Chains A and B, each alone.
Chain A
Amino acid sequence: MGGVNGHVVTQRRRMTMTGAEATAEAMRQIHPDVVAAYPITPQTDIVMRFARYVSDGVVQTEFVPVESEHSALSAVVGASAAGARAMTATSGPGFALMHEILYVASGYRLPIVMPVANRALSGPINIHGDHSDTMGSRDAGWIQIFSENAQEAYDNLIQAVRIAEDPSVRLPVQVTQDGFIITHGMEIVEVLTDAEVQQFVGTYEPERYLLDVERPMTVGALALQNSYFEVKRQLAEAMVNARRVIADVGEAFGRLSGRYYGLTEPYRMNDAELAVVVLGSTAGTAKVVVDELRNRGVKAGLVKIRVFRPFPAQNLRDLLRGTRAVGVLDRSDSVSGGLGGPVFAETKAALYGLPDPPVMTGYVYGLGGRDTTPEMIESVYEDLAELARRARDNYAEVVADAALAGHYLGVREPGQNGSPHRHGAAKLGER
């Protein structure tokens, strides 16, 4: 493949790249048969780079320029059903425009892989990173993998191909990266060789496909009261199977690259008493805070959710068992009337029934790309320390109150003109 100077990677290289560049590079190395896409900030940089690879003859991918994201995913659904390895990419409002077809892709069990540059949804209009787009489709039957940085955006995309196409899964996969924060942030990324990526993803050999004239079939037949439910039950089972496959592929990728991946990533959780649950780029910021708190003797830890669908409920039960207080960070809001965001709701659900569970509370943060500082995250640990302290005397009441409390982290409250930062009176560990 390739053959154009500078576009064939025969030796592993560490390069400075944005998340968008790293994603386009992974797409070049995956070398899909068909890509259909419509540009939308901040995804544009991914598709623009990939389209250039196509026009320069670096890849032989069939690129389908379409008039909307609804059409982009529709074209990819058609290509995938026809037997092609097919990809698209999108962001925010474009992702929302795909909503109808998301269900078609998963319902037909098409292993489409789609990078998503997370972007806030209008209105008011905003082009920056939050998770409202992907969280809005969390029930659409797609596997959802979140990336912490450009390296993970690259690594996750390559793994996604194998996960999607596994015969026991056959589900579409979204690989997300926070808009601008990752898509446009420059980082060091280790790029595998083209041959390594090609070998890892392998050749796509669909069991059935529309262009197989020897074995004709119908995709998209009407399925009414007597069969639709069974098809959805199969989909649910595939998502259960995906847990094991994602873990296996993450392990195999680790053997290849030295970077191992699971459904969750615990950080300094061994003896942690106060834990934050977070996904996306903010996990990186939170790790810095955990290190700082650990230096001060605070038993702080972090659980990064890498895979939101399938939801890693058992991992969270195992990792958070034994903590005293847990703060769950959501970069989107369920607007549920005070109950916080989706990660909070599902984490609580995952821990339901644990004997002596930690006090849990939720924070919506970073909407519309609002900067989330280490100080803000430290203030969460301060809250958790306070909750754990109060829970000692009055456990039942504190647990119940905290579970129903949706906090907003980094929003300007009355009396905080100009600065949304919240600082505790004294630093944790220095009281």
Chain B
Amino acid sequence: MLHLNVNILNAGVFGGSWRFPGTDGTASYTIEHYTSIAKKAEEAKLDAVFLADGPALDPGIKHRTGNNFEPTTVLARIAARTERIGLIGTLSSSYNDPVELARRLGDLDHVSGGRFGWNVVTTAGPVAARNFGRDGEIDHAVRYQRAAWFTQQVVAAWASRTRFASPQGRPVVVQAGGSSDGRRLASRVAEVVFSADQDLEHARAFRAEIRAGAVQFGRDPAEIVVLPGLSTVVGSTETEAKRRRELLDELLPDAYGRGRLAAQLGISLDGLRDDEPIPAGLLVEPDEAGGSQTFYRVVKEIIDRENPTLGTLLKRLSGGGGHRIVTGTPEQIADDIETWYRAGAADGFNVMPDVLPSGFDDFADHVVPELRRRGLFRTDYDGTTLRAHLGLGLPALEGAA
């Protein structure tokens, strides 16, 4: 069975989402934005809501709304207002204390009746680092060494917890970060992998690699759910969907798109005109990049393959960073989802609507029923926990065998 989460990325994945006609531009600064989308996701029987996060103010804030609520407080509130939907929150392994995090996340799992999943990330960038006493980003390899140690501490603390038991045993471990270090961590600890991929064959190989790696760690590959991010632009006709996409491209604040791309590639784009190609000579191999090697690779592959002008590339990414974008009718989007799913490129998707809430309303009202008609998606929840929705058992403790 296909798995679907909705990624409530503030106003939507597109950089111009907050400016979309009929959208309240600052709604994502109110808690109701998150609780009402979560309720809608529960009505649509999705597996979970997903919250990305980082402990810093996004330098692009001037031109694009940013994440601005801390995930455990948001998810504790959503838990109070919903009954079944899973609750996945991103919490940094780089800038948290493992004792504190294990307790807080374990308690959130208990409070929510066993619906919580922890997305382990290694926080990139100098801006977050400076909020924790550092002058710059921690080295990529060091971040991942710490992540492995950190996750082990947290999972062991959950396993030894008796006071506030959770119906799902312990929170589901989710992982995002697809560099070689990230893939190794995923094979070792992840029960759900949030990935980024533009290409079906690549995604298939990625999933196969994670599963094979899991076997090496003595795990059952069937106990890993791989969910690529999928940005959606839904229209009732193909023309309408394309128009929506074009409008979003127009609404993308140029300074935001350039700033984000420059940060992602770690190069300056100052002075480069929109009609000039990206100077490929400035790019290093992804394994040598800092920040996020995954998103670096995704963008570099587009540049290598298509040699786009800066303007074309900015439109192609539309401020979304590199997740795949599908634009079309509900049937066309369902076709795409079905193709990836049947090809073994994905166990489902972390759906990233273009604009929130409207893009998600369209997805829930039109794409989900189409997936149901094809027998790909549940008509109701079977269980009450996130583990049950994902079809996951309770894994043995790492190193305990």
Q: Do A and B bind each other?
A: no
